[in-house]
Amino acid sequence: MVRVLLNVPKQVRKGEPFDVKLLISHPMESGQRRDAMGLAIPRDIVRRLVCTFDTEEVFGMDLFPAIAANPFLVFSAQIERSGTLSIMFTDDHGVVQTETAAVEAV
């Protein structure tokens, strides 16, 4: 289980953009490194991240080994009604994880 810190305002103004801030505990092992015995350390990165609001896509990102360990991401969203913002991501082990936050639009 990967730890995720998702920071979203609980309440936003309708149609006004707000920041979605995300930290994911993940080594983002690049696949370029070798261990003490000289063996390649297999790649293990978060490769895809999608943010949706209810069913609509807000933001999507393909990640590569050049994204730093414990990925940090800020992007912007805007909504017209209250609903649920969810972040879904997939890593090289096929682990899919979803984090959600309720956002109220006023």
| CA atoms of 81 and 101, how far apart (whole Å) | 14
Rg (C-alpha) for the chain, rounded Å, is: 16
Least Cβ distance, residue 44 to other proteins (angstroms): 13
Nearer to other proteins, 1 or 93 (CB): 1
Which two three-digit tokens encode residue 67?
Answer: 């994204």
Residue 14-53 contact track with other proteins, rule CB under 8 A, x = bound: ---xxx-x-x-x-x--x-x-------------------xx
By CB under 8 A, is residue 67 in contact with other proteins?
Answer: yes
Note whether 71 and 87 are within 8 A (CB).
Answer: no
Tell me which of 71, 87, 89, 91 binds other proteins, using CB under 8 A: 71
Least Cβ distance, residue 98 to other proteins (angstroms): 17
Note whether 67 and 28 are within 8 A (CB).
Answer: yes
